[in-house]
Amino acid sequence: MSAPQVTWLTQEAYDRLKAEQDELIDNRPVIAAEINARREEGDLRENGGYHAAREEQGKQEARIRQLQELLRTAKVGEAPKQAGIASPGSVLTVRYEGDDDTESFLLATREEGSHDGLEVYSPSSPLGEALMGAKEGDVREYTLPNGNSQKVTLVKAVPFGS
């Protein structure tokens, strides 16, 4: 079994996700009461309210598990210290082959959300995986969803917030 992937989060994102998890856990009795109330209505095979409540319960439990794992493996507020190398928590500026313009984004988990108008790209996305560990000036290649390859140059990598 592989080691869990560490996720870099700002303190703000960690607090927001922890609050969401706590709210979902606090809501468990409400969903259980709804299921019980719908069960009392009779025949479960034709009870749409009962099935909808059970489905909602399943979605909430899945999200709770996802948040628990994410928060368990999170590194909070530890932006990378080294500029010049692409790593989680870095703001990357890249140039795509055939394009003169550059694009900047935060390399972090999607749960982190956007900051200062920056898009967030996951380190496990095709672009994120291609750029991980790249040094400024490195050219990397990754596969687009349509199957084509795209080359990208890392122009700049700076720790988030610097």
pLDDT in tens, 42-99: 777 778 888 888 899 999 999 999 889 888 887 776 556 678 889 887 889 999 998 9
Percent of the chain with pLDDT over 70: 86
Q: Which domains does the chain have, with CATH numbers?
A: 7-76 (1.10.287.180), 90-159 (3.10.50.30)
Burial class (CB in 10 A: 0-12, 13-18, 19+), 149: exposed
Q: Which helix (H) or strand (E) holds 158?
A: strand 149-159
> Mean pLDDT lowest for which of 58-62, 122-126, 133-137, 140-144?
122-126
